[in-house]
Amino acid sequence: MKILKQHQKNAIAYLSKRFGGLLFMEMRLGKNLTMIRHLKQLGINNKILIVTDYGAMRGWELDISDEGEQVVVLQGSREARLETLGNDISNRGYVVANYESSKRLDLHKAKDWKVVILDETIKIANPRNDITKYFLSAFKHVKLKFVLNGKPMPENLMQLCCQFMFVHNTYMGCSNFWQYRAKYYTQSVNGFEWNPKPNHVKEVNEYVHKNAFVQTRKDAGVGSDKIYTNRFIKMNAKQVAVTKHISKYFEYEGVEYVNDLGLQIGMSYIAGGVSPSPTHDILSSDKLQELLNVINEVDDTKILVWCRFREEQRIIAEFLLANNIRHEVINGSLSKNERDEVKSNFEVNPKIKCALLTIKSSAKGQDWSCANTSIYYSREWSNDLQSQSEDRLIHVNKSEPVLIIHLLTEKSIDEDVMIGLKDKEFNSKRVMSNFLSRYTKK
């Protein structure tokens, strides 16, 4: 049986004085084990529902099994999940599901749940989201509820509200998000932004530390320091020409890029040296060459290469293969079992140096601490996904620093996304506006 770290013991002591609770513990501090041990201490070992991201389900399954508890993972087709729910599974221990399937399966009706645990609760941070509405309303009858999150407010303070609402049905004296916003925020003149009133940041800080268990890796005295470095690549003439074309005509070779999201996707392809055309041919191999240079410079035997698009991943894989760099590839097209098999092969095979990962498929719930270096070929427009993916290198038993390397195409949207990822109010409209205005001045 694993020995608990002191910060995990502190978390359990905190929860033991409360009915339900929120654990805001940074990634790699062992939230799963903390939660399982707390329920053991309470004498609860069945009718426990855990809802998490798809990528984190396997981690929960292993952690629960390692503790000698029964666990059922809802996976496969909707029919297969419903069949599993139709069996008497809740009396056998834990049930692990993902957010997207919960509402479709009517999980709140499936069993008389004693405990509901929501993991990676940024999924219920947006009050307009159907998933948020479902969990705030459908599980009110459950008496023992928990929230687990390593980064509970990656974008702004408002994202805390619904997470507390799930557990306590109230937040800072308010019974719903809209009441909270009206009480503590003022609307901008243009009507698009809400800004916290004076002293609200301090009020939130005091409230969170009083009503949740907050733990950073630094305060816990575990984990690794991160060393960041950027490598820049110049745009070639073809990339510049395609950028100007899309900026002017909002289309390229029959593909329209007519709104903020479409336009930033097109610009992101170009920054990666990939054509935004339907065939996604190579516009420039300069970023690929820089990636190869970095891989050859890094002494680590295991390296993670992150990117946003599968088209980029395909081109990177072909390029590395041509240069005799053995690698594994994981993206959303693989099943959970296939991902586990590929990941295991990467970890144990000394001849495989790189794992090529799409950020959305692997940023959460997986331990990639066998590597000490992450190279970002491109990035998702999300503080949450960025920080989560960076922390995949971290492990409580590692003391050596980890290296985070960003490959950035100059005068491209890459630079604006990097600036935006440091901004709590990061959004695509702002970045696109900054990029287009900056680009047309050059």
What integer pLDDT is reported at residue 418 of this predicted model? 86
Note whether 6-220 and 226-238+285-427 share their fold.
yes
Q: What is the mean pLDDT of residues 354-370?
A: 92
What integer pLDDT is reported at residue 397 of this predicted model? 77
Tokens of 105: 């399966």
Distance CA 405, CA 294 (A): 9
Tokens of 318: 């072909």
- Total count of residues recorded for the chain: 442
What integer pLDDT is reported at residue 442 of this predicted model? 46
What integer pLDDT is reported at residue 245 of this predicted model? 92
Half-sphere exposure of 396 (CA within 13 A, CB side): 18
What integer pLDDT is reported at residue 361 of this predicted model? 92
What integer pLDDT is reported at residue 430 of this predicted model? 64
Q: Which of 121-130, 169-178, 222-231 has the lowest mean pLDDT?
A: 222-231
What integer pLDDT is reported at residue 53 of this predicted model? 86
Helix (H) or strand (E) run with residue 345 in it: helix 336-348
Distance CA 372, CA 394 (A): 8
Q: How many C-beta atoms surround the C-beta of residue 336 within 10 A?
A: 15
Q: CA 411, 417, 419, 423: dihedral to nearest 10 degrees?
A: 160
Q: Considering Cα of 160, then 166, then 167, then 170, what sign does the dihedral take?
A: positive
- For the stretch 91-101, pLDDT in tens is 669 999 999 88
What integer pLDDT is reported at residue 441 of this predicted model? 52
277 contact partners, CB below 8 Å, separation of at least 6? 252, 253, 254, 255
Provide the whole-model pTM.
Answer: 0.75
- Parse the chain into domains and list their residue ranges: 6-220, 226-238+285-427
Q: Which of 47-51, 88-92, 201-205 has the lowest mean pLDDT?
A: 88-92
Distance CA 387, CA 263 (A): 25
412 contact partners, CB below 8 Å, separation of at least 6? 235, 239, 243, 267, 270, 271
What integer pLDDT is reported at residue 404 of this predicted model? 94
Band (pLDDT 50/70/90 cuts) for residue 58 is confident
Is the pLDDT assigned to residue 205 strictly greater than 90? yes
What integer pLDDT is reported at residue 115 of this predicted model? 96
Q: Which of 3-7, 233-237, 392-396, 410-414 has the lowest mean pLDDT?
A: 392-396
Tokens of 253: 């070779």
178 contact partners, CB below 8 Å, separation of at least 6? 127
In order of 3, 32, 288, the CA distances from 9 in angstroms are 10, 13, 46
Tokens of 243: 């950028």
Does the structural domain 6-220 have CATH classification 3.40.50.10810? Answer: yes
Distance CA 206, CA 238 (A): 53
Helix, strand or coil, per DSSP, at residue 411: coil
The more confidently predicted of residues 63 and 419 is 63
Helix, strand or coil, per DSSP, at residue 146: strand
Q: Which of 58-62, 163-167, 301-305, 368-372 has the lowest mean pLDDT?
A: 58-62
What integer pLDDT is reported at residue 434 of this predicted model? 67
What integer pLDDT is reported at residue 359 of this predicted model? 95
Distance of CA 79 to the CA centre of its chain: 28
Q: Considering Cα of 159, then 160, then 161, then 165, what sign does the dihedral take?
A: positive
What integer pLDDT is reported at residue 88 of this predicted model? 62
Quote the DSSP letter at residue 16: T
Q: Which of 118-122, 128-132, 287-291, 421-425 has the lowest mean pLDDT?
A: 421-425
What integer pLDDT is reported at residue 135 of this predicted model? 97
Q: What is the mean pLDDT of residues 79-104?
A: 81
Distance CA 316, CA 332 (A): 17
Percent of the chain topping pLDDT 70: 94
- For the stretch 315-340, pLDDT in tens is 999 999 999 999 999 999 998 889 99
Is the pLDDT assigned to residue 73 strictly greater than 70? yes
**Fold of domain 226-238+285-427:** Rossmann fold (3.40.50)
Distance CA 334, CA 240 (A): 35
Q: Is there a contact between 291 and 377 (Cβ–Cβ < 8 Å)?
A: yes
Quote the DSSP letter at residue 159: G
Q: Which of 5-9, 116-120, 355-359, 365-369 has the lowest mean pLDDT?
A: 365-369
Q: Is there a contact between 51 and 101 (Cβ–Cβ < 8 Å)?
A: no
